[in-house]
Structure 1
């Protein structure tokens, strides 16, 4: 427990040697340090989960997720630790709030960033269903667009094919009727359209000729129809109509498994809306409360530090800071004095050396004159 306590003290950014002297403050800083630690832990999980989807499909996705999660969690831990430890408890309440305002805003931003990836995991099942509907709707739209473009580009050919089909159907009916009348004429059945004479006579030959003309025309129409059908089929392949199909359940599952962070984030935002575009209040409140929870959790160490009264540890830290500042000023003054003394010493040394040089030169000149 001592190791755990010291670890949470370290997480809170407290000066451990000073904090040891005030047992009444121990639990407060254990709580602050634990909150900072678990916030960093959630940040690591959140960042790792987000990075896992960024590299989804890559064999090293897990490695990248773990590495980024550790880096992100350490960064959040260091930032929270600095935010809490930098709040000065010696000022008035207004001064403390003013001092903590930028830190609270930063904590809110961190809470939002942390909560989003975790919301993606919490609503994973609903996000998958929303993505499946979106992918199916998108595929429908794609097929409709391709069909519309195809109809616009090849409208004349399609109209021609419709006319050929109508003519084929009409010729088929006429041929069946003409063949039936020809049989009646040959067998001598008396009707309004036959002569009633048995045998292959003049009227039968005329009806056979008309039948043959219709059959020849039907053959031409069928050849033209087959040619148009082949052409339009090739155009469908070229435009992608034949290869574009609605997704199967297996394909939809595969698509949702490899969906990226942007698609999942979009789907999460769409969960709070119904199909008719109205707000789904229940889902919206659930998402909002999860985000607010993490924001509160991130701001909690700052709030605890602000709400807690000034304790003996805060007074001791303030005095220690003043003492260190005073000591630093003394050391600075001492360094200046030492520098001045060294400078004066070098200056005196230079003067003495110059005097010696002048004296030595004078003695040399005097000796030379004596010799001369």
Structure 2
């Protein structure tokens, strides 16, 4: 670590293929190396560790985070978590911050609060800033907790997307065949990431469009059973997991729209944003009650995609887009523009760097 740079340590519970880990990776890799020295710590290993190291990011897996803190002496600790109390994770970070302040040194503790949850523990009280990944999460947090959600303590920082990479490597909307009857879905193979809508729209859609293909990344056992029971094996393809943006481009270039369905909703919806960055319209649905609904923040009905509330509406939305390719192209172009404007990784990271600097200025002490 270079002494005259602002030292940043990202802390995350794992280095797997999920969206939380990918967001952390993008923030770490795109932070300006001439002004910041960035490292990552995780108690659990995963495929992103290798990608981080390939990018030149010091990555520490396992061991005691307190030892990593003592070795690196970061000015910024940026923890990525769900938002609820996690004393085992937060205690050493909180104690390090307290020790540095007692020594007259600058140390700031911030979180990316992935699910917009409230932490009323000592770990939560030690935070200098909370970043919500969507306006929806920030609004719900303030509404439910009765807390004024305002800067500098609370801020919205959208999850980053490498829109430049997608623009350079994915098919542009002008060259896409939006009438090709191939649609896709992508998620982790976790029942919590699914909705019955993701399957129940299929029979009616296939009856109306017998040659339609549905490509699924992250298929769960229930999906395999449903496809077999309904005799849809010729219409559904279960695909291997994807990790890199290059693999995502290959998948997105093979489909005409993204079919999103998740009963728990999305606190942001990284796959939705990435599909938009590739010029794909998205079909999604609202989540009930106070569940995550940021998918509706990304997918504006009739602008960047379509919102359906039942299996029948979902099938109609899919068929409408496939049968009206010019409209699908217009939505794909609008989605790509929105992703570039709001989620471009370079823009998000420059905002984050400015927040880091402002927090350090208010912190007192010396670097």
Q: Indicate whether the TM-score tops 0.5.
A: no
TM normalised by structure 2 equals 0.23
Higher RCO by CA contacts (8 Å cutoff, separation 6 or greater): 1
The structure with the larger Rg is: 1
TM normalised by structure 1 equals 0.23
- The structure with the largest helix share of the pair is 1
